[in-house]
Amino acid sequence: MQKPATSPKPVKRKVDGVLLLDKPVGLSSNTALQKAKRLYRAEKAGHTGTLDPFATGLLPLCLGEATKFSQFLLDADKEYLALVKLGVRTSSGDPEGEVIGEHPVNVSKDELLVALTGFIGEIEQVPPMHSALKHGGRPLYEYARKGIEIERKARRVSVHALEIETFSGDLCSLRVHSGKGFYVRALADDLGEVLGCGAHLQGLRRTAVGPFRIEQAQTLEGLAAMPEAELDNRLMPADIMVEALTALPLDIEATWQICHGQPIWLPRLTIGQRFRLYAPDGRFLGVGEVNQDGKVAPRRLLAS
């Protein structure tokens, strides 16, 4: 009996750049990444920080050589639109957990505003059990799924802005602008405790990561309908990831030294300072950092 014909696997190709994806609800960040990677037939791809399956919004993805700079977005500020359900507490602090408490809600908008002021600025936050933080080499959510509670220390995090978008009875929509390491689901759970009625994060949409905005993002459906040439046009260059660093143009000799792993001396440097490095023709080379000898040493370079 003849075996049914199978479609040949698409040939992977070298493609470099940054893709801003609008992750849909129901997909893990890794699943969304793999779908985008297949659409681009990319040899290599990675993301810059995950979004839970129930969450939507901005997920910056790095393809090819751009993956070398993904770490620079991990510490970036982020903005969210969070839908908080008052009166119901869940085991995970989000809609995927089991209901562990229900209370009547009698909260005014003024009371909500007062409660929110306590979460603005530098605050202490205990990371949720349902998170990717590691304990004993394993993410906390693995312990949580087995019903194991691990003691977590509060961490200092920053909330730059926290505003009420809408409020009606037991539902409020909040705009959150936070620094690195902040958990919006922990905010929802803590807010419910302060208000005395319990709460959980019912929905979440990430609207900004560092310099990137959701308005710049592409959907998987939109990408799937594009020809390959158009897909490539949707990519941003790798140096967009390190745009906050000072640009340092190099001459031919310094370019040769950096590309061969040799540090270069320049006047008025500060130890630990980082630069975007460029060749004389404007080509992005990578990132350099001033070492203990006061020289700019290569740290992350694109493949020549």
| Domain boundaries of the chain, sorted by first residue | 17-75+212-240, 78-209, 245-301
Residues 6+ apart with CB under 8 A from 295: 263, 264, 265, 266, 269
Could you give phi then psi for residue 285, rounded to 5 degrees?
A: -100, -35
Per-residue pLDDT of the chain (304 residues; tens, 9 = 90+): 566 656 567 788 999 999 999 999 999 999 999 999 999 999 999 988 889 999 999 999 999 999 999 988 888 999 999 999 999 999 888 998 889 999 999 999 999 999 999 999 999 998 877 766 777 777 777 777 777 777 788 899 999 999 999 999 899 999 999 999 999 999 999 999 999 999 999 999 999 999 999 999 999 999 999 999 999 999 999 999 999 999 999 999 999 999 999 999 999 899 999 999 999 999 999 999 999 999 999 999 998 6
Asked whether 248 and 255 are in contact (CB, 8 A), the reply is no
Q: Which residues are catalytic?
A: 52
Reported residue count of the chain is 304
Calpha distance 89→167 (Å, rounded): 18
> Can you name the CATH fold of 245-301?
2.30.130
Query: Are 160 and 178 a contacting pair, CB within 8 Å?
Result: yes
CATH of 17-75+212-240, one of 3.40.50.150, 3.30.2350.10, 3.40.50.300, 2.30.110.10: 3.30.2350.10
* End-to-end alpha carbon distance in the chain: 51
Q: What distance in Å separates the CA atoms of residue 147 and residue 208, rounded to the nearest whole number?
A: 33
Give the count of alpha carbons within 13 A of 82, CB side only. Answer: 31
- For strand 246-249 and strand 274-278, is the pairing parallel, antiparallel, or unpaired? parallel
**CATH class (in words) of the domain with range 78-209:** alpha beta
The yes-or-no answer to whether 17-75+212-240 and 245-301 have a common fold is: no
